Structure 1
């Protein structure tokens, strides 16, 4: 994009200098140090994961470190795709895998900080990093990256606006945390401490209050005769996404496949026993569960599902806090059966259910607000570093900016900086990617995969004929879409049972701005309650005129993530491990990627794994990547 008249383009190396002061903690006269390693900086947010008062004894720090001051920017050069960037608020020492960067007089640290965290930098930095196992960004490559440089007053204006937007996001998070606290306090007021049972309620084992059943899965995995039909199949990702009340929208089975699985009725309590062991939810509708779940059938009449599910989740959290390697690492059916749950009076359970229902309404509204605020913040950031955000402000502050621009020019000349003037050269927020800028979104089409292009064409034709958005979170509606001849004809070359892949492609197309993702109300025909489901629709005419740079940044961000993540579905065998004397552990039967390609060679099929985390680490070692880059879904 063309820079505003009062902006220039510089290079990071022109306006950021590295602190080269080194400290050997072993010989330093200071006995303890405020030490920051890469593990202490949260990815993408830059939040410091240790207290400011927490210090490390010098004798425990074994190598030379870099000293930094308050106001220095700490930038992680190892695995730069993690975007570990923190603005120091006090002096200390840091790992040599972190650069301590000091800004020139013409650059505000807060302005530089947000730019360094943006996809414009971390995506390009990841592309420039070298080293297969431990990719690092060289100083020379970093220094050559461009940065748009407004005057100091305008930088401050941009920082002020972005900080205000970020404050709204922080407020939403704080409100959600407060709501969670209020809910726990209400539970405690009614039922007391569930772990101590300090109100002396009668207690019963899970096996005494329900028929506990283990889920099962049809074989072979991916068989179109068994998978991709109208029967919802619950996945762990559904539970982690939805919380206490869950919709099974990620996967589905045919009627034939459902015969080999385990069906659970609406309002049943289900618990994950692998992937997120102990995580419990209530089904909003009939669904099948696989062998990574157990279900509580025929729940005792003196217990409500809401009380049971919430209590089991509370027990899970407290057990995790109290013990490392507790039973919730993995769960067997016998372990779940032996769990003990209090049975308080029904009137108290009903009071909690009513409170929980009201709480859910408020929580849903806060979550919606948080999503909107995140979208707004992303848009503001893009507008900020292109000059659009402060366009009107520049007009009002013309005389002030002229003087500030002259001062900035003097500073840059003294530093020997070569600058690109505004209006002629262009700074792309995607930073030297191979994107061709055109006046509308259609330039993105050639960048899509063949499958994505066919999904986009089929979706557009389907919506044009139906005249309605596609309600993707309604299993029946989405199944009809996948089975429609418009879709099957276009996707027949890719094989059968592509429901999950179609859903992912629609989300990716929405992320690229090629279709719109919306939320639509849907009223339950039985209860009359109104819910809100995710839907997709084609873009309206006025939506084709938005800024090209927004789409370019989104595409680059998505591409950067895709290049760094690996998605696998794994089929686990607990029975063989149990027969071998390794109860609670599992062996791996299959490993397939999102295209159903076999990757079983990444694991040792003879090994007994204690958890999905252990399996993830093993797969990551085989791939020579970090464990966080591997996402597993137990099926």
Structure 2
């Protein structure tokens, strides 16, 4: 690895657990929970909280920290904030010292080999956590600050290309929604030809199995607890249970019912056990509503679920709220036309997905070479 020295994390950075008590939290403070950090470092659904809303101790952080999710480290929830705020105590704020660049440290900790290493050292069967004392012993290659910045710039550029490709995905999804509104209108503003979701689909709320049945060795039924296992279209298996409770079927629409990601969707490509953070929605045979129609309609409602979920500080969408959702009453021919248009868009997405996979491979190669001094 050329002439770079290797140091322990604690020699160049501090795990900064500066706490703040609930009564000290001021209105308008930015709060970051694990649910607000996506795998790969993006933030989603960041909240400004009011005084008195949070009831437990939190950690404080600034734009100079690296936020490291210690719970289920395999999720790679590691991010560089551009703001100050407070975070869950399952997130460790790491403050880089003068010898290490923030983005360099973040990229190093996020590379697949380090995620695998952290996961192997986590303790706990169903809720594995990485101890701060273990994290601070991680070995880090340390080139000059100038070289660290150069590496971080290269990886940032590669990540930006991936982000642009993901933006194209989002735009194609927006096109689906526009076609839906053009053909069927907005169910929330219509009074005629509206029925309830429960008239055309069956809804199954998730039920978490016993924590003692969880494993990461692929034994039993794949378990989904929420959007952390969601992929672009179908879930990614990350944990399993030997005592499954509520099972979905192939083709079901998987719907997040709790927290900051309430309303997010995936489709079941196999049988999964559903934890209480999810519901399965299954179009009923014999109705005009098909899966494409229902998926796009529910995706259109995402903002509604974010603002109208039951619970003032923690969204928790009930079975009744799902059952009562208004949907357009459609005929088979119109639903089929819509489905055909969606299939065309999905083919375009498949082409972009292939390009994104190539960019992902390139990024992984750059990561591997970067920290070996080969860029």
Normalising by structure 2, we get a TM-score of 0.64
| 2:193–2:328 Cα contact (<8 Å) kept | no
Give the 3 Å change call, closer, same or farther, for CA 181–9 of structure 1 in structure 2: same
Q: Distance in 1 between matches of 2:348 and 2:182?
A: 20
Q: Which residue of the partner structure matches residue 331 of structure 2? A: 343
Contact 1:65 1:93 survives alignment (8 Å): yes
1:313 maps to which of 295, 299, 311: 295
Aligned residue number for residue 16 of structure 2: 19
Instruction: Say yes or no: does 1:372 pair with 2:370.
Output: no
Tell me whether 1:74 sits opposite 2:71 in the alignment: no
Matched, 1:102 2:100: no
SS in 1 for 2:141: strand
Map Cα deviations across residues 467-498 of structure 1 (whole Å, 9 max, x no partner). xxxxxxxxxxxxxxxxxxxxxxxxxxxxxxxx
- Distance change (3 Å), C-alpha of 1:362 and 1:129: closer
Query: Which of the residues 235, 249, 252 maps onto 1:272?
Result: 252
Deviation, structure 1 residue 131: 4.7
Normalising by structure 1, we get a TM-score of: 0.40
Describe the superposition over 1:174-219 as per-residue Cα deviations: whole angstroms up to 9, x where unpaired.
1111111112212322332356557x6799x9999xxx9xxxxxxx
Summarize the Cα distance change of 1:293–1:130 in structure 2 as closer, same or farther, 3 Å threshold. Answer: closer
- Structure 2 Cα separation of the partners of residues 42 and 176 of structure 1: 20
RCO greater where, 1 or 2, for CA within 8 Å and sep 6 or more? 2
Which structure 1 segments of 5+ residues have no match? Answer: 213-236, 245-269, 282-291, 391-635
In 1, Cα distance between equivalents of 2:106 and 2:162: 18
Distance 2:372 2:330 in 1: 59
Residue 49 of structure 1: how far off its partner (Å): 3.5
Q: RMSD of the alignment, in Å?
A: 4.8
Structure 2 matches for 1:55-70, cutoff 5 A? 55-57=49-51, 59-70=52-63
Contact 2:62 2:83 in 1 (8 A): yes
Compute the displacement of 1:150 (Å). 1.7
Q: Per-residue CA shift, 1:209-259, capped at 9, x if unaligned? A: xxx9xxxxxxxxxxxxxxxxxxxxxxxx9xx98979xxxxxxxxxxxxxxx
Q: CA deviation at 1:111?
A: 0.5
2:5 maps to 1:8: yes
Inter-partner Cα distance in structure 1 for 2:369 and 2:150: 13
| In 1: Cα distance, 2:40 partner to 2:46 partner | 16
8 A contact 2:293–2:338 mirrored in 1: no
Whether 1:32 aligns to 2:27 is yes
What corresponds to 1:125 in structure 2? 118
Provide the rounded CA distance (Å) in 1 between the counterparts of 2:255 and 2:58: 38
Deviation at 1:113, TM superposition (A): 0.6
1:211-222 → structure 2 map (5 Å cutoff): none
Instruction: Pick from 40, 43, 68 the counterpart of residue 45 of structure 1.
Output: 40
Distance change >3 Å, CA 365–CA 11, structure 1 → 2: same
Show the counterpart of 1:386: 372
Preserved contact between residue 36 and residue 44 of structure 2 (Cα < 8 Å): yes
What secondary structure, in the 3-state scheme, does the structure 1 residue paired with 2:329 have? Answer: strand
Distance 1:242 1:19 in 2: 34
The residue aligned with 1:84 is: 77
- Gap change, CA 1:191 and 1:32, over 3 Å in 2: closer
Larger Rg: 1
Give, in angstroms, the shift of residue 377 of structure 1: 1.4
Bigger shift: 16-25 or 367-376? 16-25
Per the alignment, residue 462 of structure 1 pairs with: none
1:354 positional shift: 6.2
Distance 2:348 2:159 in 1: 21
